Amino acid sequence: MKPPSGVPGFRFAGLACGIKESGRKDLALIVSERPATAAAIFTRNRIKSPTVVSGRTRVARGRLQAVVANSGNANACTGPGGLRDSEAMCVETARHLGMDARHVLPSSTGIIGVPLPMETIARGIAAAVAALAPDALQDAAEAIMTTDNGPKTAAASCRIGGRTVHVAGIAKGAGMIAPNMATMLCYVLTDADVAPAALRPMLRRAADETFHAITVDGDTSTNDTVLCLANGVAGNPRITRGGEGEDVLERALTRVMKELALKVVADGEGTKKLVEVQVDGARTVAEARRVAFTVANSKLVKTAFFGEDPNVGRLMMAVGNAGVPVVEETIDITLGGVRVVRRGVAVGTREAAATKVMQRPSFVVRISLGMGEARTSVWTSDLGHEYIRINSDYRT
């Protein structure tokens, strides 16, 4: 499928303004032709970038018209100056676009602890405004990248009230990806007309099934943002909470966010495997999630994925470490449908078949706890040499 180039009523820009020494794109702009309904989810890390602090206030009113995002510098641990800088990014963007600065949301991603180069960014904003185009979504997707191997975009469309509604999203993130989203930036744009009170819970539910269900390294960054802008250009009857079209739009949002979230895991720093960890038979979804994430974050499990080694002992070890009162004798585990643990006992004879499953780039680990009816899925990656190389060299 051809990657999406835009969404009706939005313009985009992405260019290199000089924040990154590499000369790669590092400034993105997304502008709606009119103020849009906005909802967002931010990092749960206690240490937040001033950019996130600033963004949270701005989105609280439920209306935004533009996003200005830089990569290469996270504007975190930068003190009071950091907040001034992110506010200044918004003021500068609004001035060029002739809009209310309160309608601009800032984002920053990259290294922590270094002040933003504000003159460079101001020049970049001027150039980005001049470059805005309705089909430049890919440029914006490239300009928010840090250690990503490539731009991440996804799109869907649906019919609401006789109108075609478009949804497209861009995301970046390849490390510090954990339950709470971690160095993840994601902007989902739609021309649907939707009330803020409807969009907020929709985005939260979609995130629970997507960005809150992925992990690369279990670390959560200071800057995570998932933002949705809905500008109403499609002309559908306005979607209200619990009203007509809500479920249709939510499915489209979830589809786009799921595709983006899985692209983030698949692009996890230096990873080569995308593994779905399914847990069923749990007493509660919370316990299922705890088991799934303990397995999905275990360094020993992830190195076994890298080694394509059906090491059931490490899977059982991780299940037992989740802090959930599991019962060894009722645990079944399959790898890509091959049963490797039956009632808590390793099934030694299936090793060759299980190894074959693990040689695939993507497979499912299914853990049945035999305690109840709750289930969940999370997605993770392997842990290999490339992760170490990237993360020990990142700044040097």
Binding site for a copy of itself (CB under 8 A): 45-48, 74, 76-79, 111-114, 175-176, 178, 217-222, 298-300, 303-304, 306-307, 309, 311-314, 316-322, 324-326, 328, 341, 343-346, 348, 383-385, 387-389, 391-396
Q: Which two tokens stand for residue 109?
A: 């991603």
Please pick, among 37, 78, 146, 183, the residue that the annotation labels catalytic. Answer: 183
Would you say 328 or 373 has its CB closer to a copy of itself?
A: 328
Alpha-carbon gap, residue 129 to 127, rounded angstroms = 6
Would you say 43 or 65 has its CB closer to a copy of itself?
A: 43
* Nearest distance in Å: CB 206, a copy of itself: 23
Would you say 23 or 325 has its CB closer to a copy of itself?
A: 325
Could you tell me the end-to-end alpha-carbon distance of the chain, in angstroms, rounded to an integer?
Answer: 37
Q: Which residues pair with 17 in a beta bridge?
A: none
* Nearest distance in Å: CB 219, a copy of itself: 5
* Nearest distance in Å: CB 8, a copy of itself: 38
* Nearest distance in Å: CB 371, a copy of itself: 12
The answer to whether the beta carbons of residues 252 and 284 sit under 8 Å apart is no
Would you say 306 or 363 has its CB closer to a copy of itself?
A: 306
* Nearest distance in Å: CB 81, a copy of itself: 9
Would you say 227 or 316 has its CB closer to a copy of itself?
A: 316
Would you say 22 or 162 has its CB closer to a copy of itself?
A: 22
* Nearest distance in Å: CB 363, a copy of itself: 16
Would you say 15 or 341 has its CB closer to a copy of itself?
A: 341
Closest to 85 (Cα-Cα) out of 61, 62, 106: 106
Residue 220: active-site member: no
* Nearest distance in Å: CB 229, a copy of itself: 27
The answer to whether the beta carbons of residues 332 and 339 sit under 8 Å apart is yes
**Catalytic residue IDs:** 183
